[in-house]
Every structure is written in C-alpha cells, then in structure tokens.
Structure 1
Amino acid sequence: MCPSRRPDFTRVEAAIDEWAHRRLATGRRPLHSAGAVQQPCARKSTTAHALTEFTVFVLKQAWACLFGAAMLAALVLTHFFYPAEAGMSRSDALVLIAIGIQVVMVIGRLETGRELWVIILFHVVGTGMELFKTSVGSWSYGGDGLLFIGSVPLYTGFMYAAVGSYLVRVFKLFHLRFTNYPPIWLTALIAVAIYVNFFTHHYLPDIRWLLVAAVLVIWGRCVMHFRNHRDQPYRRMPVLVSFIGVAFFIWIAENIGTYTGSWIYPHQNDGWELVSISKLVAWFLLMIISVVLVTLVYRPQPSTSNTGTRT
C-alpha cells in the first residue's frame, strides 16, 4: 500500500513525492548474496535508481528555491527589458511583481500558511536592517518611486523572505532531523547577538569573529540527517557545511543583484565589481539568524537513528 501523503505538502510537492515513490519503488536495486558478481542488468538498475534519486533531489531543491528564483528573475528581466519611458519606476514595478508572486503562490496553494508566516517574519526583520544599513551608507538603492520606506524600496524585504522561504521548504521536503542540535534558547541568544552586531559595529568594536567562533562551537557537533524521499535511508551532513553552502549561493545571488543595479555597494559606484568574498562572513552569520527564525516555526526534530550515509 502506498503511504499517505504528508498533510504539510503543497500540491506540487505531493506530486513530486508520488512520482519519486513510484519510480523508486519500481526501480529498486535487486538483492545479491555476499560476494556475488553484479550482473549488467543489476548495474543498470542501480544507475537508473541513482539517477532518479538525483532527479528528485534537484527537483526538490528547485522547488525550495522557487520564491527566490522568481525574485532573482524579476531583478534580471526588469534590468534588461523594463522600458525607461514607463510611467511606473522599476523599483515600484518590482514591489508589485513581488506581491504578485506571493499572491499567486498563496492562491495557487503553492505555499502553506506556515511558510507565509515565515516570509512575513523575514520581511520585517530584513526591512529593519535595510533601513539602518542604507542610512549609514553600507549600500544604496538607485532609482526613485513611491513604494519606499525612507531610501529603501519595499521589494527588498521580499529578498530576505526568499531565504526564509527556501529554508522552511528544505526543512519539510528533506525530512530534516538533527543530532546534537543546540538548545533553542541558546541559538536564539546567538541570533540576537548577531543581529545587534549588524547595527552596533558601526559605533562599537565589531565582534563578528567572536560570533563566528561561537557559532562553530555551538553548532560544531550538530549533524543534519536528510533523505531524498520517504522510502530512502537518511544521509548525514555536518550542519555547518550546509550553512556555508547556502551562504555561498546567496553571495552568488547578491552578485547578480548588484550587477542588475538593484542595489550597489560603495566600491561599485564607479562601475560594477564583484562583491567582496569577505561578505561571505556576513551571509554566514545572517544564515544563523535565518535558521533560528525558521526553527521557531519548524522545531528541529531529533534523529531516531544514527545510521545513514555521510556526505
């Protein structure tokens, strides 16, 4: 009997899950006795099974990135194709596009109510940081428009929300479980300290490296267990590796955003340059804030077994 679908899956997620279940159930690797020579048909089955697993992984990652990918596409397309003579500024158009994406995802039930709350939370936290950072000249937004708070266009909050959307989807799509996850109260204290330091380091000594060290100590023993599909065994990865990986991809997205002129850093005033690799530290710390915010909605579940393949 086919297992019932998870109630927190959207329609598309349930469709991917069912497709993977059918494909992986019919393409299981045949069992062999110890020392038996694997036949060509068995090797073919194993390869097909691995390709199906990889396809499911890519589909789930792509789906988790849906909101962020749509926002990034909007930045790129409006940069190259938005007409200069349009009656509405590009910044205002991006706000309306972001709202439109959100409305379509909610009405189309491509997003759960839980995810919507996470997006709103990230929007508020991100906009607060943007207002301060632009006021002290850390970066700036060009253009004009009506849909601004101070010098910050309202679409910027959606870019932070895209990170939250990705994380909360990954939590459920890959059935995340953890061993040695630190206490929530302790992670919340670190997240608050990181958020405060983003503001205070302009006036007080910057303690980001102390905060990085604290993160390495607190999450250093934590292992993330994930599985591609409900029928597959869990695999393992040090959670710090996932933090660094996501921070790196956000840095790539940031380079695309600055290339399109959606915002610029002071060193890019005379022409676009690559965003400094040192920004990875800031994004790494921002990842901690992001993860803690998500765990307030999706509490980290302990692993029921230490078995699994280490990646």
Structure 2
Amino acid sequence: MLLKTYIRHFLIFTIQQALSCIFPVLVFTMLALSHLFTGFIPRYDFMLIACIVIQAAMFFGGLETKNEVVVICVFHLLGLMMELFKVHIGSWSYPEAAFTKFAGVPLYSGFMYASVASYMCQAWRRFDLELISWPGHWVARICGALIYFNFFTNHFFIDVRYYIGVLIIIFFRKSLVKFHIEKKAYRMPVIVSFVLIGFFIWLAENVATKLGAWKYAYQHKTWAMVNYQKISSWGFLVIVSFIIIAELKLLKGDIEEQKH
C-alpha cells in the first residue's frame, strides 16, 4: 500500500513538474516551428511576438499571477543585460537578421531567462513550497549578487564561481525545501535542487542551440553538444533565480520559513 502511494506521488510530482514547465515548453515549441515562418517574418522577431503572446495568455488565462509576471519581467531585464554583455565580448552570438535586435541581441532572448523564473514560480505554487533553515537574508542576497556579477567580471579577472560555490555549500548546507503532494510533505536539500534544475536546463540548452536559438563559437560550422562546464553556469544561474524568488516571497509572506 505504501509503495502504491509513493508511485502515485511520483506520477503526480512528474505531472506537476511538467505543468510548471509550460512556459519554457511553449517557447521551445515556437522555436521548433519558427523556421516555417521565415518567408514572412525573421525568426527572432517571430519569437518575440510568440513569447509576448504566450506570456499574455498565461496571465489572462490565470496560469500566472500579477506578482509572478512582475518577477518574470525582472528576470527578462536581468537576462537581457547579461545577453548584451556576453554577445558583445563574443561568448555566443545570434547570427540571423531581425528587426528586433539591439547591439546584436534579439529582444526575445530575455524570455529564455524569464522561462526559468516562470518554472520556479509555477513549481513554488503547485507544490506549496516551504523553506527550512534558510540562511540569513543578507547572506542569501550577497551570495546571489556575487554569482550574478561574476558572470560579468570573470572575463576581466579570475573566475571565482567555484569559490562562491564553496560559500553556497557552507551557508546552504542545512537548507531544505519542503514540498507537498496530496498534503504529504517531502524534503529535499536545496543544494540538490540547484544541481538538478541546472542539469535539466543544460539539457534544454542543447535542444535550444540545435534549434538555432543561439550559437556558441564552436557550433557555427556544425552543431556540437554544449560544453559540460555550462552545467555549472546554469546551476549558478538557478541559485541566483532561486534566491531572488525566495527572498521576494519571504518578504511578502507568501511562503513559510522554518528554522528547524
């Protein structure tokens, strides 16, 4: 009987995770279909329109709240800032022409980051998340800021991501995320969730580059699997995203923080 319950809960968990991914799934679907419209509109312009329509449909359809849309817009802006910098220094490029490109960056690209925020907001609500032993607010915020700024400074100074990773392990080692399935509570170390989400985003990035969403320098002649080091990059981006959303929700009192 207990085994059947766990199997049922695993299936529910999988379904709820899939539903939480509705925004990124729709974005990838539009990417896959975008080449069909190149005779009428550049792909990047098509993607911007599609992302705006998807975002509006989710909001007016009740799948996202007003506060969640605000958070997603913040991530869109943070993502665009990073894209402008990374494209400028040649980390990757968007080779196709478009009307909605600024400094070589198509404006739809911010939605790729926003989709991560959308997933987290959806999952937070669907699983009624609680945080256990979350580090002090300023500790979390400083760690998040260090990670974000290192995405920029690592091109001019030493890359300190792994030193920051040590800080994350130290300060978040006791932190747990508590989620609920049919009122039964489960717990997972928050660091494990960082790694798992980062890994699955890396898998999605391989699909995105295969579909031509963007290209790294080593993918221009022929597609190649994204460098494994990008798993850590996405993992750190997940940490920043998680910290921002957690801090906003804790400040608003939308989730419960437990000390033990």
Deviates more, 1:248-257 or 1:217-226: 217-226
Distance (whole Å) between structure 1 residues aligned to residue 170 and residue 121 of structure 2? 24
1:240 aligns with 2:195: no
Aligned mate of 2:214, from 257, 263, 275 = 263
Give the Å deviation of 1:179: 2.0
Are 1:224 and 1:236, in contact at CA under 8 Å, matched by a contact in 2?
yes
After superposition, the C-alpha distances for 1:234-257 in whole angstroms (9 at most, x for unaligned) are 111111111000000000010001
Are 1:223 and 1:236, in contact at CA under 8 Å, matched by a contact in 2?
yes
Give the Å deviation of 1:142: 1.8
Show the counterpart of 2:257: 302
1:129 aligns with 2:85: no
Show the counterpart of 2:236: 285
Give the Å deviation of 1:75: 1.2
The AA in structure 2 aligned to 1:242 is S
Distance (whole Å) between structure 2 residues aligned to residue 109 and residue 289 of structure 1? 26
Show the counterpart of 1:224: 177
Show the counterpart of 1:75: 31
Show the counterpart of 1:150: 103
| Residues matched between the structures, number | 256
Are 1:174 and 1:227, in contact at CA under 8 Å, matched by a contact in 2?
yes
Report % sequence identity. 34
Show the 5 A alignment for 1:17-36.
none
Are 2:133 and 2:258, in contact at CA under 8 Å, matched by a contact in 1?
no
1:202 aligns with 2:162: no
Show the counterpart of 2:70: 117
Are 1:180 and 1:221, in contact at CA under 8 Å, matched by a contact in 2?
yes
Give the Å deviation of 1:296: 3.1
Are 1:225 and 1:303, in contact at CA under 8 Å, matched by a contact in 2?
no
Give the Å deviation of 1:203: 1.0
Give the Å deviation of 1:188: 0.8
**Of Structure 1 and Structure 2, which has the larger fraction of its residues in helix?**
2
Are 2:178 and 2:186, in contact at CA under 8 Å, matched by a contact in 1?
yes
Aligned mate of 1:89, from 35, 42, 46 = 42
Give the Å deviation of 1:201: 1.1
Show the counterpart of 1:39: none
User: Where does the alignment leave 5 or more consecutive residues of structure 1 unmatched?
Assistant: 1-42, 307-311
Show the counterpart of 1:58: 14
RMSD after superposition:
1.6
After superposition, the C-alpha distances for 1:208-236 in whole angstroms (9 at most, x for unaligned) are 1111111111111112211113x32x111
Instruction: Name the SS for the 2:178 alignment partner.
Output: strand
The AA in structure 1 aligned to 2:171 is I
Show the counterpart of 1:101: 54
The AA in structure 2 aligned to 1:60 is Q
Give the Å deviation of 1:47: 5.6
User: Where does the alignment leave 5 or more consecutive residues of structure 2 unmatched?
Assistant: none
Distance (whole Å) between structure 2 residues aligned to residue 197 and residue 83 of structure 1? 38
Are 2:20 and 2:123, in contact at CA under 8 Å, matched by a contact in 1?
yes
Distance (whole Å) between structure 1 residues aligned to residue 202 and residue 95 of structure 2? 20
Give the Å deviation of 1:185: 1.3
Task: State TM-score, norm by structure 2.
Answer: 0.93
Structure with higher Rg: it is 1
Task: State TM-score, norm by structure 1.
Answer: 0.78
The AA in structure 1 aligned to 2:15 is L
Instruction: Name the SS for the 2:215 alignment partner.
Output: coil
